[in-house]
Amino acid sequence: MEGASTKGVLSHLSLLEVQARSRKTQPQQPSRVKELKAKVEALLTQRDQLRAEIETHKNLKKLRASMDKWCTHEEEEEEEEEEEEEEEEEEEMDEDSENSKLLRLMARHTRLKDLLHAHHVIGGYNVIKTRQGKGMCVSLATAYEGVYLETYNLEIDLKPTVRISRHDVPPFIPLKNLAEQSSVQTDIRTLLDPLSRDLNAFAGRKQQLKLVKELHKSVEVMESNVLCSLLVLMFTVPKEKTLVLCSLDYTDRTRCLPTRVHFKCDDKELPDSPEWKKHRSLLMETPVHKALITMRKMGNIV
């Protein structure tokens, strides 16, 4: 009897031993599965993040659209003040109202950024206050025919008196005269507006000269000056190869069009011919690079 029970116990023990050993050597989940599970987790996080972002964008757009529609700045500020007063009364803010406050601020942020960009794009003066309000920086943008050109800058002292301290306006623009003629002490725009007009007219004339050189290689530029207030061109009449000297005077520096157009030619009758009289009016009323296109189409210049 002892033998039988011992055998039973022993064999039971050895069975347990085998099981224990086999559990130890049982392989863990292969690393491949572990790797893939991690990847799935990562992708799930990415997806949820993207979904949350898209939802937030959607809500931001809605909020922003209603702000654009209904709010002027004054109204917006009043609304914000009202909201703040209400919140000061509440001791705790729950997560929902925190989120909605955050969303509102984000929508205001995008709206303000867009409005500031708009001021810049429409040619605003990009005013920056410096030295705790004692100074100011101003930019004057120029553009011609939809192309933005040079920007000029002024550094202005505001105290004790309004005075231009530094600038990069070219010397042939009468900045000092314009300042003297303006009421710059009380309203700086009385200087900036005329200055901007002059700079834009100059930029326009300069750009026209550039376009003449680029688009009309058969027309020779004989003379021009830095202010671009004088332009002398040489035309070649196709058939007879006659040369016509054309001088354009831009004596009104606030304008992009000439005040006087004059033709000179060996053939004394040419300038008074009806075609060339038309050309004179054309050059007085149309930017020169465009006028030349018409003149070439009419077959009067090469």
Partner 1 sequence: MMEKMSEENMEEVTVLEAQIELLQAEVLALRRQQKDDLKDITFDFRGQMQDAMSCMCGQRRGDEKEMVLSRLKEVVEELEEDLKLQTQRNGISLNSCTTKTLQSSGGKLVQQLCISGHCSELVFQVEFQLSEVKEGSGCERTISDLNVVMDASDLQNFSSFLSGVEESRDLLLFFRTLRTFSDRCDDRRRTFQHFQVSEDTPAPKWTPPQTPALH
Phi/psi of residue 25, nearest 5 degrees: -85, -5
Do 255 and 229 meet the contact criterion of CB atoms below 8 Å apart?
Answer: no
DSSP letter, residue 235 = E
Q: Does 277 bind partner 1 (CB under 8 A)?
A: no
Distance, in Å, from the CA atom of 204 to the CA atom of 287, rounded to the nearest integer, reads 9
Distance of closest approach, residue 95 Cβ to partner 1, in angstroms:
7
272 binds partner 1 per the rule CB under 8 A:
no
Of these, 101, 167, 213, 278, which contacts partner 1 (CB under 8 A)?
101
The correct pick among 11, 99, 177, 185 for binding partner 1 (CB under 8 A) is 99
- Residues numbered 146-205 forming contacts with partner 1, rule: CB under 8 A: 146-148, 188-189, 193, 196-197, 200
Residue 215 is a binding residue for partner 1 (CB under 8 A): no
Q: How far apart are CA 43 and CA 240, in angstroms?
A: 78
Q: Does 18 bind partner 1 (CB under 8 A)?
A: no
Interaction with partner 1 in 30-49: which residues (CB under 8 A)?
30, 32-33, 36-37, 39-40, 43-44, 46-47, 49
Alpha-carbon gap, residue 60 to 44, rounded angstroms = 24
- In the list 64, 205, 206, 279, the residue contacting partner 1 (rule: CB under 8 A) is 64
State the Cα angle at 116 between 149 and 55, rounded to 5°.
120
Residue whose CB is less far from partner 1, 143 or 227? 143
Between 155 and 220, name the residue whose CB sits nearer to partner 1.
155
Q: Which of the stretches 4-12, 21-29, 175-183, 239-247 binds partner 1 when contact is defined by CB under 8 A?
A: 21-29
